Amino acid sequence: MSVSDLHDAVLDWYAEAQRDLPWRRPDCSPWGVFVSEVMLQQTPVVRVLPVWEEWMARWPTPADLAGVASGEAVRAWGRLGYPRRALRLHAAATAMVERHDGEVPSNLVDLQALPGVGTYTAAAVAAFAFGIRVPVVDTNVRRVHARAVTGVEHPAPSLTRAESDLAASLLPDSESEARLWNVGVMELGALVCTARGPRCDDCPLLGRCAWVLAGRPAYDGPPRRGQKWAGTDRQVRGRIVQLLRESDEPVSRAEVEKVWSDEIQRERCLDGLVADGLVEPMSDNRFRLPA
């Protein structure tokens, strides 16, 4: 299968099958794209959509978000999980105001210099907000590449140099096609070439997919660990943040203690939240979101 055949198949499919998501529309601002990329990290689209819409209505520019307390960002984060992302968004918005006249920077170097912005987020914003020709490699993209090109069921547990090189080699030459290719492969992985139960009969690459042509061999790489939730520190931290988010006033230690019965785990999580800047302790043994 030639690279051009691969491009044609995915781009033609995406033109018909793409979801109408507000951050993909031509009138979406770079800030809207930036916010969506942070929210979509490890979070399904269906959960992100209502929160993204609320954020963009409330804080349509970086300056709007930077102008409120970081605790308001955490409060508005709702149940998206990993609330440190809300703090990172607030810090990034503040940096945009201080360094870039309140605008999202339009090059990879400046994007990566923003607080909390890694390689993936910088590439995604550069590609989707500014049309820069750069590979965007998330879990969905890695899975499509692994199956269609490399011939294995699942990619490695973490991004490898070989995967990055493959993604770069598959990128179309033109900026406009590169942008569509990035989002098209991502969409294909999200809707069809899923981790469990891939819908191969609906895939535009059926007949070209190296994994299918090899007989769909079972994954034999390093163990793939699922994410636990019940009983984990993540659950405890989430409950504490939820308690503070739902209260208009600082909460007492006694209220925090009702959140989780295991004192050692609860106090460890509370200390971690304070260290991360998600919870602010007060002198009267009460706690609040950061002011």
Q: Where in the chain is the domain with CATH 1.10.340.30?
A: 19-130
- Give the tens place of pLDDT for each residue, 222-271: 666 666 778 888 888 888 988 988 888 899 988 998 888 888 888 888 88
| DSSP H helical ranges for the chain | 3-17, 30-39, 45-58, 62-66, 70-76, 84-99, 108-112, 119-130, 139-145, 161-170, 175-191, 210-213, 233-245, 253-257, 263-275
- Give the tens place of pLDDT for each residue, 34-58: 999 999 988 889 999 999 999 999 9
pTM, 2 dp: 0.83
The CA distance from 17 to 184, in Å, is: 9
- Catalytic residue from among 37, 163, 187, 280: 37
Indicate the class that CATH gives domain 1-18+133-226: mainly alpha
- Give the tens place of pLDDT for each residue, 129-173: 999 999 999 999 999 999 999 999 999 888 999 999 999 999 999
37 catalytically annotated: yes
Cα atoms in the 13 Å half-sphere on the side-chain side of 190: 18
The CA distance from 39 to 85, in Å, is: 7
Q: Which residues pair with 288 in a beta bridge?
A: 280
Q: Where in the chain is the domain with CATH 1.10.10?
A: 233-288
Residue 174 has pLDDT above 80, yes or no: yes
Q: Which CATH architecture fits 19-130?
A: Orthogonal Bundle (1.10)
List C-alpha distances in Å: 239 to 46, 79, 135, 254, 290.
22, 10, 37, 14, 16
Contact criterion met (CB below 8 Å) for 160 and 137: no
Q: Which two structure tokens, joined as six digits, stand for 163?
A: 């995967």
Indicate the class that CATH gives domain 233-288: mainly alpha
Closest among 118, 152, 115 to 138, alpha carbons compared? 118
Q: Where in the chain is the domain with CATH 1.10.1670.10?
A: 1-18+133-226
Q: 59: helix, coil or strand?
A: coil
